[in-house]
Amino acid sequence: MSPSRKDLFPAWYAGLETRHLKDLKFAELRRALTALSSVYVERRSAIIRGAALDSAGKRAAFAMFYGPLHFLAVSHVLGELKPRKPYPKRIFDIGCGTGAAGAAWAVATGCKPSIRGYDLHPWAVKEAGWTLKQFGLDHSVARRDVSRAPMPGKKDGLLAAWVVNELREETRNGLLPRLMESAETGAEILIVEPVAKGAAPWWDAWAGRFEEAGGRADQWEFRPDMPESLRLLDRAAKLDHRRIKLRTLSINI
């Protein structure tokens, strides 16, 4: 990994604080994070109605809290998967949110892949553009449904991080064969999901398809090296991310 790019994480995180704390007090951010986390854990059916990003506070909490954690988690996974370098040349980040996970993959390649981000939410599209700029990555981000996102070719990668569980069933079912077709051409694919069982009744079937095609299904647990203020926010909101568990499906990586 290029040290200069890896070192951009603290600068990016400091930029997030400046960007999102200018209109929010710490206590407001903490409350918004609690509300956002409750949508992800207890009110999952509300996600499809857009409840996760429906207020400025929740959007700030997503950008400042989950974005950096997703960056750290994807960095960890790629460190363990030891991808063949210097690929991919382009990364298609579907359901890119704030762009953090795609940026982590780009950083892990040690080269300068360009990123094509797609998300339904206009705020996410804008925020992802900002994130990718902080990492000096060539990028384009568009407002587009996953079902209409282009699929990667031979030298490309596709990332779907914490998004497949948010898709409507028909969108999810339509995505799997398209991913498998791309994988056959040699495209690298990485799916990242939380471990919570209720969130992904489709997981075993997807894992089976990845494994049959020569890919792998993994579960990970690691201690993220969080910035101090992220740690404080985690504790203040009574979450506990001192250890993060996640699972991935990957192929050609």
Ligand X SMILES: C[S@@+](CC[C@H](N)C(=O)[O-])C[C@H]1O[C@@H](n2cnc3c(N)ncnc32)[C@H](O)[C@@H]1O
User: Which positions touch ligand X (CB under 6 A)?
Assistant: 66-67, 70, 95-98, 100-101, 118-121, 124, 145-146, 161-163, 166-167, 171
Closest CB 212 distance from ligand X, rounded Å: 26
Q: Give the residue at shortest CB distance from ligand X.
A: 97
Residue with Cβ nearer ligand X (41 or 208): 41
Residue with Cβ nearer ligand X (95 or 215): 95
Closest CB 237 distance from ligand X, rounded Å: 17
Closest CB 231 distance from ligand X, rounded Å: 19
Strands laid side by side in the 139-143 sheet = 139-143, 114-119, 90-94, 156-161, 188-194, 244-251, 216-222
Residue with Cβ nearer ligand X (171 or 186): 171
Distance from the Cα of residue 101 to its chain's centroid? 4
Residues 6+ apart with CB under 8 A from 103: 12, 71, 115, 131, 132, 134, 135, 137
Closest CB 191 distance from ligand X, rounded Å: 11
Q: Long-range contacts of range 182-185, CB-CB < 8 Å, 24 or more positions apart?
A: 182/151, 182/152, 182/153, 182/158, 183/213, 183/215, 183/251, 183/252, 184/213, 185/153, 185/154
Residue with Cβ nearer ligand X (4 or 219): 219
Residue with Cβ nearer ligand X (191 or 251): 191
Closest CB 163 distance from ligand X, rounded Å: 4
